[in-house]
């Protein structure tokens, strides 16, 4: 059977989650990887027995890729997707889709006009607890959601930012705690609520960090058109990565989601609890545990839909909604006004 020829651009922190997920799929061939840091790409090419490139366009021209995974800094996601589409290569990009909504729309347009597929990684939707809670909500067991709230209180020190040549900047990262860390939780919360957004009213600040100009704090309200008020609280100056929490107050009970564990308490006091299965653990090497085990699930799902010529579950249009939330939080935080979507 013909194996799909896959490439990855960006061999940094998140690279192993993609490379290992591709290697474990016997329908895929990791034929090329690319990074401007030559030592890095050559080391990884040896480890994964593939060809190294230090120039993205050359990889696209020479490697005859079917699909490219984009694992580079945020500001490169849009131009790299457009270039891949022009070379008729399907794209699976890491979150966030882009820095600005306009760039995200250009990505969608380019992929549509060149008839290639665009997928965006939000792997936490594939966590067991998240998928279970979504299923319960869709089946109507909890009734309507009345309100929602989420909290992301993590530790990203000035040193963390100083170790990166792009994080902590508006032009390359596109923001701080919201676009990079809290984006996963905001995406989950709006996926659970599953309605159109009316407006966002938010504040952002840098309260603690000395060496970055992006926000380390954000709080606010996402007002959905169905009346649900979803509140968020985000900081990057906690002294530890506290468990991420989402709480949904529903007609028939309360759902709590804590770092992948879903706990539902129905109004009749019965409970359902679903969390990660420890047998699912996959050794991605030296990567952070909260990135979870779900990259491989989303990546195999992406390829399954590609094979079936269907659109991926999280395609460009789906990810665009979360991009709009992120950008509206920033606009509202900067203008001190409600931003209507």
156 binds ligand NAD (CB under 6 A): no
180 binds ligand NAD (CB under 6 A): yes
Span interacting with ligand NAD, options 44-52, 65-73, 100-108, 311-319, rule CB under 6 A: 65-73
Q: Whose structure tokens read 């027995």? A: 49
Residue span 301-340 as binding mask against ligand NAD, x where in contact by CB under 6 A, dash where not:
----------------------------------------
100 binds ligand NAD (CB under 6 A): no
What's the full length of the chain, in residues?
A: 341
Write down the least CB distance from residue 93 to ligand NAD, Å. Answer: 8
Residue 285 to residues 10, 42, 45, 138, 289, Cα–Cα distance (Å): 17, 18, 16, 36, 10
Q: Determine the Cα–Cα distance for residues 74 and 167; give it in Å rounded to an integer.
A: 9
Coil, strand or helix at 200: strand
Span interacting with ligand NAD, options 32-40, 208-216, 273-281, 321-329, rule CB under 6 A: 32-40
95 binds ligand NAD (CB under 6 A): yes
Closer residue to ligand NAD, CB minimum distance, 212 or 264: 212
> Are 85 and 111 within 8 A, CB to CB?
yes
Closer residue to ligand NAD, CB minimum distance, 179 or 250: 179
Span interacting with ligand NAD, options 43-51, 67-75, 186-194, 258-266, rule CB under 6 A: 67-75
14 binds ligand NAD (CB under 6 A): yes
Closer residue to ligand NAD, CB minimum distance, 136 or 186: 186
Task: Give me the residues paired with residue 120 across strands.
Answer: 93
Q: Determine the Cα–Cα distance for residues 8 and 72; give it in Å rounded to an integer.
A: 9
Q: Which residues 115-154 are close enough to bind ligand NAD by CB under 6 A? A: 121, 123
Write down the least CB distance from residue 333 to ligand NAD, Å. Answer: 20
9 binds ligand NAD (CB under 6 A): yes
259: phi > 0 → left, psi -120 to 50 → alpha, else beta; which?
left
218 binds ligand NAD (CB under 6 A): no
Choice from 160, 199, 237, 291 touching ligand NAD (CB under 6 A)? 291
Write down the least CB distance from residue 164 to ligand NAD, Å. Answer: 6
Choice from 48, 56, 224, 284 touching ligand NAD (CB under 6 A)? 56
Q: DSSP class of residue 244?
A: P
Record the tokens describing residue 123, joined without a space.
């792997």
Task: Give me the residues paired with residue 246 across strands.
Answer: 150, 257
Residue 168: Cβ within 10 Å count: 24
Residues contacting 140, CB < 8 A, separation 6+: none
* H-state helical runs in the chain: 15-23, 38-47, 56-62, 77-86, 101-113, 128-139, 158-162, 183-193, 295-307, 316-335
Closer residue to ligand NAD, CB minimum distance, 12 or 243: 12
What residue ranges bind ligand NAD (CB under 6 A)? 9-14, 34-37, 40, 56, 71-74, 76, 94-95, 121, 123, 164, 180, 291
């Amino acid at each position: 059977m013909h194996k799909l020829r896959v490439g990855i651009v960006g061999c940094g922190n998140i690279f192993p989650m993609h490379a290992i997920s591709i290697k474990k799929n016997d329908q895929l061939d990791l034929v090329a990887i690319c990074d401007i840091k030559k030592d890095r790409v050559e080391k990884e090419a040896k480890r994964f027995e593939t060809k190294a490139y230090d120039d993205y366009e050359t990889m696209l021209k020479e490697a005859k890729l079917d699909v490219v995974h984009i694992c580079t800094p945020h500001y490169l996601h849009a131009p790299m997707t457009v270039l891949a589409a022009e070379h008729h290569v399907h794209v699976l990009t890491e979150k966030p889709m882009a820095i600005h909504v306009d760039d995200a729309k250009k990505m969608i347009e380019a992929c549509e006009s060149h008839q290639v597929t665009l997928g965006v990684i939000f792997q936490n939707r594939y966590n067991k607890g998240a998928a279970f809670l979504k299923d319960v909500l869709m089946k109507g067991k909890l009734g309507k959601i009345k309100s929602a709230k989420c909290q992301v209180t993590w530790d990203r020190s000035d040193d963390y930012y100083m170790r990166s040549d792009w994080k902590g900047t508006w032009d390359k990262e596109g923001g701080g705690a919201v676009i990079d860390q809290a984006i996963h939780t905001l995406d989950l919360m709006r996926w659970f609520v599953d309605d159109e957004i009316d407006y966002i009213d938010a504040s952002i600040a840098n309260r603690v960090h000395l060496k970055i100009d992006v926000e380390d704090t954000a709080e606010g309200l996402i007002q959905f058109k169905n009346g649900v008020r979803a509140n968020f609280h985000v900081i990057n100056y906690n002294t530890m990565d506290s468990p991420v929490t989402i709480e949904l107050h529903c007609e028939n009970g309360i759902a709590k989601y804590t770092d992948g564990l879903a706990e539902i308490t129905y109004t009749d006091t019965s409970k359902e609890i679903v969390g990660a299965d420890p047998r699912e653990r996959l050794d991605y090497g030296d990567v952070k545990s909260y990135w979870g085990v779900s990259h491989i699930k989303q990546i195999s799902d992406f390829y399954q839909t590609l094979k079936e010529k269907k659109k991926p579950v999280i395609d460009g249009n789906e990810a665009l909604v979360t991009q709009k939330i992120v950008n509206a939080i920033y606009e509202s935080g900067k203008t001190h006004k409600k931003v209507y979507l």
